[in-house]
Structure 1
Amino acid sequence: MDGGHMQIGEVAARTELSLRTIRHYEETGLVIPSARSQGGFRLYTEADVARLMVIRRMKPLGFTLDQMRDLLDATDRLDAVDGGQDAKDGAARDVLLERVREYERAATEQVEKLRVQLSRAEDFAATLRARLDEG
């Protein structure tokens, strides 16, 4: 295996995602392997792993596959603009940045909701512990 490509098993280990989940994300178009080996095995790059990590981080925050696809599209297009492929279009860049900002705001809001849930869960566990200590 050349140094730039990994097979799906290594990607699964690095991302802590199952092979089935990675294949599902491929089927839905969220992540496309960068190459295939002569034997037909999926080959992934560091960029593919980074993409999977974005998806993995969005999932517990309740983002849908369509939202994941939209954010990845926005970041891909931003990378193209910032890479000079479309540098003359500053207005497009501003629109893309606003899309990413919306996801950042939504993620922050979800994190706050999860903090409240975690606090309540910790309080509940402490109540149960106290009850057990009494008995």
Structure 2
Amino acid sequence: MSTDNTDADRLQIGEVAARTELSVKTIRHYDEVGLVTPSARSAGGFRLYTISDVDRLLAIRRMKPLGFTLEEMRELLQALETIAAPTSTHAQQATAAIYLADYHTRAEQACAKLTKQLAYARELTTQLARYASPE
């Protein structure tokens, strides 16, 4: 990481990958499709990320197993930003809240489906366990 003060609180992509448990390739892909953009570049051209960027990547990581498309992820992230922004109007916040309520319902449905699939996987694991233990 650069030692100049403007970059002192920023993380290079490898550090971000370690913190988010996402691959460097995946983080670069999310940059290419516009889901998360590094806050800065070092003098050497390396991507530099803030804690806010890391939080955004963690939100994306949480959405991925629930089956959200890239466009849906973008909309959800925008709604979260709108809710958090002190400059958002009441109408903007109300619209964002409607989006978030819909995404919440969809996330709950996806979690229920994943829970059921996990139960099936555990059943199989239990069934196969007797073959994994040496007798």
Instruction: State the superposition RMSD in angstroms.
Output: 1.8
Offset of residue 38 of structure 1: 1.2
Offset of residue 99 of structure 1: 0.5
Matched, 1:28 2:33: yes
> What's the TM-score once normalised by structure 1's chain length?
0.87
Query: What residue number does 1:100 align with?
Result: 100
User: Structure 1's 71 and 132: CA in aligned 2 closer, same or farther, altered over 3 A?
Assistant: closer
After superposition, the C-alpha distances for 1:87-117 in whole angstroms (9 at most, x for unaligned) are xx31221110111111111111111111111
Aligned-pair identity (%): 50
Structure 2 regions of 5+ residues with no counterpart?
Answer: none
Query: What residue number does 2:123 align with?
Result: 123
After superposition, the C-alpha distances for 1:38-92 in whole angstroms (9 at most, x for unaligned) are 1111110000000000011111111111111111111122222xx2x13xx3122
Structure 1 regions of 5+ residues with no counterpart?
Answer: none
1:39 maps to amino acid: G
Q: Does the residue aligned with 1:43 lie in a helix, a strand or coil?
A: strand
Query: What residue number does 2:23 align with?
Result: 18
Q: Across the two proteins, how many residue pairs are aligned to each other?
A: 129
Offset of residue 132 of structure 1: 7.3
Matched, 1:78 2:54: no
